[in-house]
Amino acid sequence: MAVSSGAIHHDVEDHIHPEPEGFIRKYIFSIDHKVIAFQYFITGMVFFAIAGLLAELIRAQLLKPEGAIMSNAAYNGVYSMHGTAMVWMVIIPLVTGALGNFIMPLQIGARDVAFPWLNMLSFWIFPVAGAILFASFLVGAPDAGWTEYPPISLQGPPGTTLWCVAIFLIGISSTLTGLNFMVTVAKMRAPGMTWTRMPLFTWATFATALINMVATVALSGALLALFLERVFGVPFYDPARGGSPILWQHMFWFYSHPAVYIMILPAFGVISEVLPVFARKPIFGYRLIAFSSMAIAILGFAVWAHHMFTSGMAPWLQLPFMIMTMLIGIPTGVKIFSWLATVWGGRLHFSTAMLYAMGFLVTFTFGGITGVFLAAVPADLHEHGTYFVVAHFHYVVGGGAVMGFLAAVFFWFPKATGRLLDERMGKLGFWLFFIGLNGTFFPMHFLGLFGMPRRYATYVEFAKIFPMAQFWNIFESIMSLGMVAATGLLIFNVIYSLKWGKPSGINPWGARTLEWTISSPPPYYNFKKIPTVLGLPYNFDQPLPYRNLDNEQDAIPVPMTLAPPRTAVGV
Partner 1 sequence: MAATTVAQPGHDSADDVRARYENVDHAYHEQRENRLLGFLLFLVSDVILFSMFIFAYCYLRNSVPNWPPIVEGGRQLPRFDVNFAAFNSVVLFGSGATMHFAMESWKHQNRQGFFRWLIATIVLGIGFLGGQAYEYGSLAISWAGSTMGATFFTLTGMHGFHVFIGVIFLCVLGLQARSGVYTESKYFGLTAGTLYWHFVDVIWVALFFLFYLW
Binding positions for partner 1, rule: CB under 8 A: 1, 3-4, 8, 15, 114-115, 175, 179-180, 182-183, 186-188, 213-214, 216-218, 220-222, 225, 228-229, 232-236, 241-244, 247, 250-251, 254
Q: What is the largest CA-CA distance in the chain?
A: 82
Comparison of 311 and 519: residue with beta carbon closer to partner 1 = 311
For residue 2, the minimal CB distance to partner 1 (Å) is 8
Angle 557-561-565 from CA coordinates, rounded to 5° = 70
Comparison of 222 and 514: residue with beta carbon closer to partner 1 = 222
Comparison of 88 and 115: residue with beta carbon closer to partner 1 = 115
Distance CA 460, CA 446 (A): 17
Nearest to 406 by CA among 303, 285, 333, 489: 489
Main-chain dihedrals φ then ψ at residue 324, nearest 5 degrees: -60, -40
Nearest to 351 by CA among 45, 91, 565, 557: 565
For residue 208, the minimal CB distance to partner 1 (Å) is 14
Comparison of 249 and 513: residue with beta carbon closer to partner 1 = 249
Comparison of 188 and 406: residue with beta carbon closer to partner 1 = 188
For residue 254, the minimal CB distance to partner 1 (Å) is 8
Nearest to 90 by CA among 45, 128, 56, 135: 45
For residue 122, the minimal CB distance to partner 1 (Å) is 13
For residue 383, the minimal CB distance to partner 1 (Å) is 27
Nearest to 169 by CA among 208, 215, 131, 211: 131
Comparison of 487 and 548: residue with beta carbon closer to partner 1 = 548
| Residues 537/199, Cβ–Cβ less than 8 Å | yes
For residue 462, the minimal CB distance to partner 1 (Å) is 36
Distance CA 276, CA 34 (A): 25
Comparison of 214 and 334: residue with beta carbon closer to partner 1 = 214
For residue 154, the minimal CB distance to partner 1 (Å) is 13
Angle 170-178-186 from CA coordinates, rounded to 5° = 170
Q: Counting Cβ atoms within 10 Å, is residue 12 exposed (0-12), middle (13-18) or buried (19+)?
A: exposed
Distance CA 330, CA 327 (A): 6
Comparison of 187 and 464: residue with beta carbon closer to partner 1 = 187
| Residues 239/245, Cβ–Cβ less than 8 Å | yes
Comparison of 275 and 530: residue with beta carbon closer to partner 1 = 530
Comparison of 217 and 435: residue with beta carbon closer to partner 1 = 217
For residue 351, the minimal CB distance to partner 1 (Å) is 37
For residue 230, the minimal CB distance to partner 1 (Å) is 12
Could you give the C-alpha distances from 373 to 83, 206, 367, in angstroms and in order?
A: 22, 29, 10
Distance CA 311, CA 463 (A): 27
Q: Name the region of 497 (left: φ>0; alpha: ψ -120 to 50; beta: rest).
A: alpha
Distance CA 491, CA 310 (A): 41
Burial 531-560 (b: 16+ CB within 10 A, else e): bbbebbbbbbebebbbebbbeeeebeebee
Comparison of 164 and 396: residue with beta carbon closer to partner 1 = 164
| Residues 564/353, Cβ–Cβ less than 8 Å | no
| Residues 205/183, Cβ–Cβ less than 8 Å | no
For residue 431, the minimal CB distance to partner 1 (Å) is 43
Count Cβ atoms below 10 Å from residue 424 Cβ, excluding itself. Answer: 11
The CA-based dihedral angle spanning residues 452, 457, 459, 460, taken in that order and rounded to the nearest 10 degrees: -160
For residue 14, the minimal CB distance to partner 1 (Å) is 9
346 three-class SS = coil
Please give the span between the terminal C-alpha atoms of the chain, in angstroms, as a whole number: 54
For residue 251, the minimal CB distance to partner 1 (Å) is 6
For residue 243, the minimal CB distance to partner 1 (Å) is 6
Comparison of 187 and 424: residue with beta carbon closer to partner 1 = 187
Comparison of 262 and 407: residue with beta carbon closer to partner 1 = 262
